[in-house]
Amino acid sequence: MDRMDTTQSRVAVAGASGLIGTALTRSLAADGHDVVRLVRRTPRAGDEVRWDPHKEYVDTAGLVGCTAVVNLAGAGIGDHRWTAAYKRELRDSRVLGTRTLAEAVASLDAPPQVFLNAGAIGYYGDTGARAVDETAPAGDGFLPSLCVEWEEAAGAARGAGIRTVLARNGLVVGREGGAWGRLFPLFKAGLGGQLGNGRQYWSHISLHDAVAALRHLIDTRTLSGPFNLTAPDPVTNREVTAAMGRVLKRPTLLPVPAPALRLALGEMAGDVLGSQRVLPTRLLESGFAFAFPGIDDSIRAALA
């Protein structure tokens, strides 16, 4: 596999303060790479570069010399109820942000070798028990349509001849944020249980493997296009619940019925109750090896 020469490379990361971004920047820095963090406020350190996705602005001088630009930015899917205003924020933070960065890297005299844009497996919509990989079309509904726009917004980078990678992230098993960041305290307190009927598939990935996969996609020169970042064996919410109970040694006797979720979460409940059985076909074909392929191992890795 043709690998980039990443010795002492310079990598710009938008969304560096999020769950994956924090782990990715830590991993890059530990290996001696220079990491540039894109921030929405006035920079306070030499490794920070100003950008404003809503105003479609990037201080492109800060991107000069970067071998890779990684976009992990976007408002949290589960941070608020999906009001019309928040759905606009979800869209703008992703579509405008991606378009802004893609156009910025395309404008450079010496553009980066790779532009990696992190999206989501929400692209596929509710697939039920049907397994899907990168060859499947987009689903129907708000999240799939958002994901399609999100990926299309990277077009300027692709059009400029920059290798463009679209990472479709699954549910990341980590303590510090995301869905599992909310689950761990509940299950540790013995208040966890299956959601709805529990038959919906949750396509997960350990935080360790998510970061390793991103670095694999950045470093491998021949890789471009969409890649599912999910473990090779998706499990149901019922199986996730049982695994959390096993690993944490806590009871899981408090199921949350579907009507209660819909009442509490509104439209977002469809995402929680929906099923996505997503396979990482292209990632496996590229030679990537998962360190924590199983759900129990992923949970233990997060706790470690």
Average model confidence (pLDDT) across the chain: 91
3 is a domain residue: no
Query: If you average pLDDT over residues 116-144, what whole number do you get?
Result: 96
Give residue 289's pLDDT: 98
298 is a domain residue: yes
Query: If you average pLDDT over residues 128-135, what whole number do you get?
Result: 97
Is residue 264 scored above 50 in pLDDT? Answer: no
The closest of 114, 136, 105 to 123, measured between CA atoms, is: 136
Tokens for 60? 């492109």
The neighbouring-strand residues paired with 132 are 278
Name the band, by pLDDT with cuts 50, 70 and 90, for residue 272.
Answer: low
1 is a domain residue: no
51 is a domain residue: yes
Phi, psi of 278 (to 5 degrees): -110, 130
- Alpha-carbon distance of 262 to 172, in angstroms, equals 23
Q: How far is CA 127 from CA 50, 195, 256, 262, 283, in A?
A: 39, 17, 22, 19, 20
Query: If you average pLDDT over residues 247-267, what whole number do you get?
Result: 71
- Where does residue 150 rank: exposed (0-12), middle (13-18), buried (19+ CB within 10 A)? buried
Q: How far is CA 48 from CA 38, 51, 247, in A?
A: 6, 10, 39
Going by their DSSP bridges, the two strands 131-132 and 10-14 should be labelled as unpaired
Range in 128-132, 190-194, 268-272 with the lowest mean pLDDT: 268-272
Name the band, by pLDDT with cuts 50, 70 and 90, for residue 273.
Answer: low
Domain that holds residue 257: 10-303
Do 109 and 61 contact (CB within 8 A), yes or no? Answer: no
63 is a domain residue: yes
CATH number at residue 223: 3.40.50.720
pLDDT in tens, 18-29: 999 999 999 999
Do 66 and 58 contact (CB within 8 A), yes or no? Answer: no
Query: If you average pLDDT over residues 50-63, what whole number do you get?
Result: 95
Is residue 67 scored above 90 in pLDDT? Answer: yes
Give residue 259's pLDDT: 67
Give the number of domains in the chain. 1
Do 140 and 242 contact (CB within 8 A), yes or no? Answer: no
Is residue 271 scored above 70 in pLDDT? Answer: no
Do 256 and 204 contact (CB within 8 A), yes or no? Answer: no
Is residue 266 scored above 80 in pLDDT? Answer: no
Neighbour count for residue 194 (Cβ, 10 Å): 21
132 is a domain residue: yes
Is residue 156 scored above 50 in pLDDT? Answer: yes
E-strand stretches of the chain? 10-14, 34-39, 48-52, 57-58, 68-71, 114-120, 131-132, 163-169, 171-173, 201-202, 204-206, 225-229, 235-236, 277-278
Name the band, by pLDDT with cuts 50, 70 and 90, for residue 81.
Answer: confident
Query: If you average pLDDT over residues 129-150, what whole number do you get?
Result: 96
Does pTM surpass 0.95? Answer: no
Give residue 286's pLDDT: 98
64 is a domain residue: yes
Crossing angle of helices 237-248/178-188, nearest 10°? Answer: 50
pLDDT in tens, 181-201: 888 888 898 988 888 889 999
Give residue 97's pLDDT: 95
- Alpha-carbon distance of 238 to 252, in angstroms, equals 10
The neighbouring-strand residues paired with 131 are 277
184 is a domain residue: yes
